[in-house]
């Protein structure tokens, strides 16, 4: 990138970039690229002046880093950056021209005043004519008529002041729009161009999109992390603000998770790539937000339609006032009452602020329509496994039936774990994890015989042990567990999954396991009720007794168990037919139909590609509390939009009445309506007040939890 230094102050640079004033040059993409530099605090491109203004934090090293980042700007990659929005730039030249004109008016002779005024207000008049020809009667037309009437009537200073106030309002509106988009653009920063990868024992620098899952990436100070992955070695402070919104760098060391788009502030890391290219968190956030910006909500469409209707109201009122009073001053004041800006701009700014706030805290919402829908939901339906429960089972108790076998509960758990370590199903993993936590010894055994989906057996201490389902042990091995029916039924009624153990003499015992309910599940259910959710329902394909036990613990209203995937969607349709506004939370392939059938589909982070593609809301981190936070954010956003609408309509209606009765001058009308618009936009940009959202994405993993993308490392002979 070619540039020339024009001016510099401590912490601030003004650079000339000749390419900026070329037609269709994406100035927003350049701003976006520079914002990705950790040393840059703010950036603004001025295509008209071919200038780029940079503010940086730090001394000479930060200045050098900012300029080096600018020189590395990938001009050839511009078409692939995927930037779907770039609001109008806030141009100060019209305001400066208007201010100088107002100051010069008293010094000019009358004929020259008319000429200078015409030159000053000419762009406003031309914009009004262009709008009338291309789009019909809009607010720009009324502004042009009001300013033109003042100039035609010889009120040159009034015309210039009014035009200046209109330009000032337009400048502030564009600045506010750009600020709302800047919040989102921070989530759409382009991925780093290069990555250092270990191949054949050497570090090789390649394009970031060529990194393969499982490869080891080396990242140094000041470098951006190009992949989602897990730390293999090293210690570093990582700045995740561009992805998660965290202002304080986070300490990372093995086996912590790192997120693409983060930057190393200190230290050095070797990272095992889990997700690369379009599959990284950063790329998925960018894709999700881009889809959200392309969708127009019903509220936004309604706001624009009502704004256009108010223009007709203003035009009709002005015509009536002039017909009755023949007072051009009143007509100008009426025409300068502007409903449209506050109504049209306030809603999209509020939606963008909500999307950004949610995304920075690990909740991706697919547009304004999803915000509207979730705010109206009265029924929340959950899938059970992986949603209300953790994905992993836990051992709750071990029972020994025959004490004559000289086997305690601890011995039985150690014995079964020693055999089950060779299986990969969830029950086996839970048993091995329980033995490891208790530091139980590994028991030697012979060769394992494994029957898929039934059980396994092995020679141990001169005998043979068989572990598996009751059906397998009774039907295939001939072991009768009916004498222990009462104890078995008690555990089943408690929602436990049972692993049966026997030997040649008969039943030995069993191990009871259970889905571990999320620690915060009950609190989240209570919070959802406080946020207006009337019905909480669980759907699952699991056994009824297990589902009912969990539902009772969480205080759910309904539970539907042993369902096929199509049946889940059918129940959602029934709820909708009964008049309920329904959201469904799930994560699996079999949840796809239900996610599509609900008014709002919410996918958990471990969800399949189908679940994520079908969902309207996607959680980046495995936290149930994020659902309640998303509900609070959406209801708050809709309340904010309604409040802003009432403010805009109320204040502008009062101004219109004052203008009709001659109580408000054209200048005061322009000043007050622009002030109202700016106030509404700033209120929308701030967003709703609410409790803290779920913990930001990208934090440390909980002990004992294995992320689904993390490779499992097998050990043989011992599991301690």
Q: What are phi and psi of 249, to 5 degrees?
A: -60, 145
Question: CA end-to-end span of the chain, whole Å?
Answer: 57
Cβ neighbours, 10 Å, residue 640: 22
Return d(Cα 185, Cα 32) in angstroms, integer.
Answer: 7
Strand runs labelled E in 518-597: 535-539, 558-560, 582-586
CA distance 199 to 196: 9
DSSP category for residue 281: H
Q: How far apart are CA 353 and CA 83, in angstroms?
A: 18
CA quadruple 332, 334, 335, 336: dihedral positive or negative? positive
CA 172 to centroid of chain Cα atoms: 27
Active site residue 24: no
Residue 64 CA to residue 61 CA, distance in Å, equals 5
Q: For residues 433 and 511, is the Cβ–Cβ distance under 8 A?
A: no
Residue 417: its H or E element:
helix 409-420
Q: What is the residue-wise DSSP string for 507-524?
A: EEEEEEEEEEE-TTHHHH
Main-chain phi, psi angles of 434, to 5 degrees? -65, -40
**Are residues 224 and 263 in contact, defined by beta-carbon separation less than 8 angstroms?**
yes
* Structure-block tokens of residue 48: 């008209």
600-603 and 617-619 beta bridge pairing: parallel
Both structure tokens of 358: 């949610």
What angle in degrees, to the nearest 10, is found between the helix axes of 328-335 and 625-660?
170
C-alpha span between 710 and 457 (Å, rounded):
30
The residues facing 558 across adjacent strands are: 537
CA–CA dist 331, 222 (Å, integer)? 60
E runs forming strands in 401-439: none
* Helices within 367-505 (DSSP H only): 368-376, 409-420, 426-437, 470-471, 485-493
Q: Which residue has the tokens 């009768």?
A: 480
Provide CB contacts within 8 A for 311, sequence distance 6+: 137, 138, 139, 142, 339, 340
Q: How far is CA 491 from CA 354, 385, 513, in A?
A: 46, 19, 9
The Cα 616–Cα 373 span in angstroms is 10
Locus of tokens 């547009």: 367
C-alpha Rg value of the chain to the nearest Å: 33
How many residues are present in the chain? Answer: 720
Give the tokens for residue 448: 């394992």
| Cα 208 from chain centre | 23
DSSP 700-711: PPPTT---TTSP
- Cα dihedral across residues 538, 544, 549, 550: positive or negative: negative
Distance CA 573, CA 561 (A): 17
Q: Which strands, in side-by-side order, build the sheet including 582-586?
A: 363-365, 617-619, 600-603, 582-586, 379-383, 535-539, 558-560
Kindly name the residue from 383, 515, 542, 616 that is annotated as catalytic: 383
Alpha-carbon gap, residue 668 to 185, rounded angstroms? 36
Catalytic residue positions, numbered: 383
């Amino acid at each position: 990138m070619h540039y020339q230094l024009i001016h510099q102050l401590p912490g601030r640079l003004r650079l000339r970039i000749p390419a900026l004033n070329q037609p269709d040059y994406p100035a927003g993409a350049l701003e976006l690229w520079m914002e990705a530099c950790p040393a840059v605090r703010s950036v603004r491109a001025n295509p008209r002046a071919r200038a780029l203004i940079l503010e940086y934090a730090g001394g000479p090293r930060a200045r050098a880093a900012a300029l080096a980042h600018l020189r590395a700007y990938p001009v050839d990659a511009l078409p692939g950056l995927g930037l779907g929005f770039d609001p109008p730039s806030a141009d100060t030249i019209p305001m400066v021209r208007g201010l100088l004109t107002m100051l010069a008016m008293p010094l000019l002779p009358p004929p020259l005043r008319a000429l200078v005024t015409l030159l000053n207000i000419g762009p406003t008049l031309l914009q009004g004519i262009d709008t009338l020809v291309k789009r019909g009667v809009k607010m720009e037309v009324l502004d042009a008529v009001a300013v033109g009437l003042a100039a035609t009537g010889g009120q040159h200073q009034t015309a210039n002041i009014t035009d200046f106030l209109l330009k000032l309002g337009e400048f502030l509106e564009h600045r506010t729009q750009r600020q709302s988009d800047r919040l989102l653009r921070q989530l759409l920063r382009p991925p780093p161009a290069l990555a250092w990868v270990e191949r054949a024992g050497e570090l090789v620098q390649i394009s970031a999109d060529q990194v393969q899952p499982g490869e080891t990436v080396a990242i140094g100070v000041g470098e951006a992390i190009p992949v989602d992955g897990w730390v293999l070695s090293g210690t570093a402070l990582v700045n995740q603000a561009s992805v998660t919104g965290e202002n304080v760098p986070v300490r990372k060391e093995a086996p912590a998770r790192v997120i693409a788009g983060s930057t190393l502030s200190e230290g050095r890391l070797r990272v095992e790539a889990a997700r690369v290219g379009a599959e990284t968190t950063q790329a998925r956030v960018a894709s999700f937000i881009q889809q959200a910006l392309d969708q127009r909500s019903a509220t936004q469409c309604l706001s624009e339609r009502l704004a256009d209707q108010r223009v007709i109201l203003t035009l009709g009122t002005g015509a009536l006032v002039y017909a009755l009073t023949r007072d051009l001053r009143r007509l100008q004041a009426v025409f300068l009452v502007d409903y449209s800006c506050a109504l049209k701009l306030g809603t999209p700014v509020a939606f963008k602020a909500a999307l950004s706030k949610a995304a920075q805290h690990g909740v991706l919402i697919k547009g304004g329509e999803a915000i509207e829908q979730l705010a109206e939901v009265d029924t929340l339906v959950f899938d059970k496994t992986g949603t209300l429960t953790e994905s992993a089972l836990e051992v709750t108790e071990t029972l020994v039936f025959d004490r004559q076998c000289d086997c305690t509960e601890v011995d039985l758990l150690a014995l079964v774990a020693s055999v089950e370590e060779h299986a990969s199903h969830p029950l086996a993993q839970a048993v091995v994890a329980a033995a490891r936590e208790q530091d139980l010894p590994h028991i030697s055994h012979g060769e394992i015989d494994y029957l898929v989906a039934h059980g396994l057996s092995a020679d141990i201490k001169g005998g043979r042990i068989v572990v598996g389902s009751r059906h397998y042990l009774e039907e295939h091995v001939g072991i009768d567990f009916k004498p222990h029916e009462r104890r078995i039924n008690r555990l089943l009624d408690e929602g436990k999954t049972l692993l049966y153990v026997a030997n040649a003499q008969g039943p030995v015992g069993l191990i009871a396991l259970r889905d571990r309910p999320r620690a915060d599940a009950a609190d989240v259910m209570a919070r959802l009720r406080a946020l207006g959710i009337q019905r909480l329902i669980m759907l699952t394909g699991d056994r009824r007794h297990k589902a009912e036990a969990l539902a009772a613990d969480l205080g759910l209203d309904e539970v539907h168990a042993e369902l096929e995937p199509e049946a889940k969607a059918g129940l959602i349709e029934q709820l909708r037919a009964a008049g309920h506004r329904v959201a469904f939370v799930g994560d699996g392939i079999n949840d796809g139909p239900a996610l599509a059938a609900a008014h709002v589909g919410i996918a958990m982070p471990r969800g399949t590609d189908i679940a994520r593609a079908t969902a309207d809301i996607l959680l980046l981190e495995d936290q149930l509390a994020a659902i309640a936070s998303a509900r609070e954010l959406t209801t708050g956003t809709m309340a904010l939009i309604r409040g802003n609408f009432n403010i805009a309509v109320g204040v502008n209606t009062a101004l219109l009445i004052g203008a009709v009765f001659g109580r408000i001058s054209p200048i005061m009308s322009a000043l007050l309506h622009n002030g109202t618009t700016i106030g509404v936009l700033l209120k929308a940009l701030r967003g709703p007040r609410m409790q803290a959202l779920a913990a930001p994405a990208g934090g440390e993993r909980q002990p004992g939890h294995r992320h689904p993308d993390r490779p499992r490392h097998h050990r043989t002979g011992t599991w301690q």
